[in-house]
Each structure stands twice: as structure tokens, then as C-alpha cells.
Amino acid sequence: MATAGRVVGSALLVVVLAAGAYATADAYDVVPGLVTLAPEPAPPSPFPTAPGAVEPAALQPALTALDPQAPVPGAAQLQLVVNGLVADARMGASVGVLVQDQLTGETLAGHLPDDGRTPASTAKLVTAIASLSTLSPDTTLPTTVVRGDGNRIVLVGGGDMMLAAGEGDPAATEGHAGLADLAAQTAKALQLEGATTVELGVDDTLFAAPTLNPAWAVPDIAAGFVAPVTALAVDTAKIRSGEYPPRYADPSIAAAKTFAARLGENGITVAGLPFRADKPSEGREIGRVESATLDKVVHHFLDTSDNTITEVVSRLVAIHEGLPATFDGAAAAVLHAVDVAGVDTSGAHLVDASGLGAGSVLPPSLLTGLVRLSTDPAHPNLRDVATGMPIGGLTGTLSDRYSQSQARGLVRAKTGSLPHVTALSGTVLDADSRQLVFAVLADATPDGGQWAPRAAIDEFVSTLAACGCH
């Protein structure tokens, strides 16, 4: 019995000692338990307020709105200014002018504002308004590669004539999409198939023939003022760098040859020369790049007066309207689109969308209607037309004009120039901060080129800017 008692006692002692040791370890937080010597934790902080629940601060506009209380210039005084321009020998014998108040549309002065005259590149305003009133400003133009039967692939043009020969630049409009990027995608897909040699077809059937407008003067084409209009091209089909260099006669095939070279750099051999081929109806897309958005493209052709890109955009409008993607179809489509947008097209006729060809006719009243629409807050989708026009003395085709004028930085306008034709249409802020809309068309200017009529028009617009006429 004594031995059993000692065993039980020893066991109890072991249990007590173990319990004590565990309690000690628990107190020092070595093992889990309820006992602790640590100080009592502070009560938890209240649940934080979500930043999204805070009332937002009021937005501060970058530019203040036009003051409707700013004085409107007197019509009699402005009419004297218009009469002086019409009588100026530098303008020739055929002049149309219109000046309106931007906010109200009130006609302040004019000379034969409803008579049609040759618009030259001011016609680009029609395509600008038409495109952004019918298509989304986020529209992009795809250039794709589709796998065909056997070893054939087909390069498919979606209208981008500003492809980069190398890598694309996401921050640019010209060269936004690049053939080097497209070739890298295509080569990767082909190499996964085990293909190393291909035939290269080109499908540019999005746009229909002819690629050159019969109304364009041969010397203008030879001088590089425009390229043949096709569904894809590298750098607007320029053979060499420069503003107006010679252009490739077949921009699509030239672009395909560049693409073949980029494929070669990625380990894919193109057998033979590129050739025209229809996109395979059941083909698998193995490469795609996208152009800059339409709003940026419109800004580009207004600022630089790019004839080719304007023609491209007009054909996109034609396709949207269900008309042929031709010069005739595009001209009809853009005029119809601006008519639907609310601009009177009476007396208007276009032989092309860029204004380069002989035979187009637009009245000054149509041009001021387009400009007013682009500046109307009720049409924010058209604001890129107003902001895309060159700024006097600062940007685009007005960068070298108004540099010494009070109108510098205050006039935004689209220029127009052809032999014996000088035009300008846009907005100007006068001395009382009243915004005026104007259009000037002169299509029988004297010999001697653009310098004299441009100077006369610039003096006229500078007078509007300086006017505090009441």
C-alpha cells in the first residue's frame, strides 16, 4: 500500500509541477492560454471613414466660359471692315465674307455669304464635323494579319495610312501603330505552328478605286500634296521624309513589302513578293495593331491640312452611311452628315473631301455654321474640331501667321490655299472678349501667289481682334 501511495503521490506531483510550468509559460505567452503578464491592450480605433464617402471638392474649370454680357460689336462698324476687305485689290474680284456672333449666331457683317465659292482646304471642316457627328471619337482603325490556307497569310488594311515602319508610338497620332509590333505578333503565332516560310497577301478592299481623284491636278500629285488613297500605308505613303515628298504609287503593296522585311527580322521568310488577295473568310487572326483614335486623327488633319488622311476619314463616314467608299460616295456622305447635324448645305458641292480638287463649291455661311456647331457646348463630341484648328502665330498651318498681330493666340481657323484661291474660316476673340465666327473665301485672287491675299485676310482678322466697336 505504501508503495502504491508513493506512486500516486509522485504522479500527482508531476502533474502539479507540469501544470505550474504550463501556467508560467502561459503567463509569459510562450504557450497558448488565458493567463498573461502582458499589459492590457488599448481599445481598438473606430472603423475608418472610407475616402470615397467624402464629399468631393468642387471642380475648377481650366478655362472660364465666354461671358454672354460681353458687348457685341456694332454691325455698322464691322460692315465697314468687311467692305474694306472686299475692295482690297489683293483679294481679287470674287470674295465672300461672313462674320457672326458665336453665342447667338447673329450675322454682324457680310458680303454675298450664301454664294458658293471654291473652299480649298476649308472644306476639311465638312469632313471633320461629319466624322465626329456620326462616328465615336474613340474609333480606331485596325491593321490585322489573318492566317490563310497552306503557308499563306494576308495583311488586311483597316484604313490606317499612318502606320510606322518600325515600332508604334502609343503617344503619337502619326505612327501610333507599327508594323514591327504587328510582325512580332505574327511571327510568334507562326513559330508556334512550326511555320518559318510564308506567302504574303494584301487585302485593301475596304476602300474602292480609283485611288486618285480625277479632279486633282497632276502637278499637285507629283509634288506630293496627296497620296493615292488606300486602306493601309506606311507614313502616308511617303517615299522619303519631309512634308510634301513623293508618294508610292501603290501604298498598300509598299506597306506589305515593309511588313515582309519586319517578318524577316523576326525569323519568318516571305517567299516571293507580296500580292493582292482577299481576306480568308474563315481565317484566324494572328496579329492586330490599332491606329490612334478618330478625335486625334481629326485634330491631325485639321492642324496640318493633310489631304490624304482627310480623304481616308471621309471614306469611313461613307462606309458608316452605307455608301461606296469612293470619292463620290465620301463627298455625298460627309455633306449628308453635316446636313443631318443641322448645318444648311444649300448650294454646296464637293468633288473630294480635302478641298484639293477643282470643282468644289461651299458658301461662307456653311463654313460659319460648321464652326459655330463645333463651339456649341451642346455638342461636346465636336469640340475636337474647334480645338483642332490651327492657332494663329502658334500651331499648324497658322504657326507662321499673326506672329506680330494682336490676334496671335486669339484666332483659331482652318486655312485654304489653291492657285488663285485663298480662304480662312474659324473664330477670333475681340477686344471685349466677344467670340466672333468668320469665313472668308476668295477664289479669283491676282497672280503672285498666296502672300498678298493672306496678308489682306490676316489684317482683316487682326482688325476683328482689335475691335471694341460699339
- What are 357-405's pLDDT values in tens digits? 999 999 999 999 999 999 999 999 999 999 999 999 999 999 999 999 9
- Alpha carbons 48 and 1: distance in angstroms, whole number: 69
pLDDT for the residue numbered 227: 98
Of 125, 63, 96, 137, nearest in space to 389 by CA: 125
Fold of 75-136+297-466: Beta-lactamase (3.40.710)
Collapsed DSSP state (helix, strand, coil) of residue 403: coil
Indicate if 142-292 has the same CATH topology as 75-136+297-466.
no
Read off the C-alpha cell for 169.
508610338
16 pLDDT above the threshold of 50: no
- Alpha carbons 345 and 105: distance in angstroms, whole number: 17
**CATH for the 142-292 domain, from 3.50.80.20, 3.50.50.60, 3.90.226.10, 1.10.3720.10:** 3.50.80.20
**Average predicted confidence (pLDDT) for the chain:** 91
Structure letter (DSSP) for residue 59: P
The stretch 1-17 carries a mean pLDDT of 50
- Alpha carbons 139 and 327: distance in angstroms, whole number: 21
How many CA atoms does the CB half-sphere of 196 hold within 13 Å? 2
- Residue 428 main-chain phi, psi, to 5 deg: -145, 145
* Secondary structure, 3-state, 324-379: CCCHHHHHHHHHHHHHHHCCCCCCCECCCCCCCCCCCEECHHHHHHHHHHHCCCCC
Confidence of residue 33 (pLDDT cuts 50, 70, 90): low
Alpha-carbon distance values, 137 to 294, 354, 429 (Å): 5, 20, 27
Collapsed DSSP state (helix, strand, coil) of residue 430: coil
- What are 180-209's pLDDT values in tens digits? 999 999 999 999 999 999 999 999 999 999
Q: Where are the domains of the chain?
A: 75-136+297-466, 142-292
299 pLDDT above the threshold of 60: yes
Alpha-carbon distance values, 223 to 34, 120, 181, 220, 226 (Å): 92, 17, 31, 5, 8
Return the minimum-mean-pLDDT range out of 45-59, 86-100, 105-119, 191-205. Answer: 45-59
- Alpha carbons 16 and 14: distance in angstroms, whole number: 5
pLDDT for the residue numbered 243: 81
Angle between helix 327-341 and helix 307-320 axes, rounded to 10 deg: 70
- Classify residue 105 as left (phi > 0), alpha (psi -120 to 50) or beta: left
Of 122, 370, 12, 399, nearest in space to 243 by CA: 399
pTM for this predicted structure = 0.86
Alpha-carbon distance values, 313 to 19, 128, 296, 333 (Å): 88, 8, 12, 11
Structure letter (DSSP) for residue 258: H
Of 140, 234, 226, nearest in space to 183 by CA: 234
Alpha-carbon distance values, 267 to 195, 221, 285, 287 (Å): 10, 38, 19, 16
pLDDT for the residue numbered 43: 73
Dihedral, CA atoms, 303, 354, 370, 318, nearest 10 degrees? -120
Q: Which DSSP helix (H) or strand (E) runs through 390?
A: none
66 pLDDT above the threshold of 80: no
Q: What are the residues whose beta carbons fall under 8 Å from the beta carbon of 350, sequence distance 6 or more?
A: 123, 126, 331, 334, 335, 360, 362
Confidence of residue 63 (pLDDT cuts 50, 70, 90): very low
Contact 22, 34 (CB under 8 A): no
Confidence of residue 56 (pLDDT cuts 50, 70, 90): low
Contact 128, 388 (CB under 8 A): yes
Looking at 94-178, list the stretches that DSSP marks H as alpha helix, in order from N- to C-terminal side: 124-134
Angle between helix 294-304 and helix 124-134 axes, rounded to 10 deg: 170
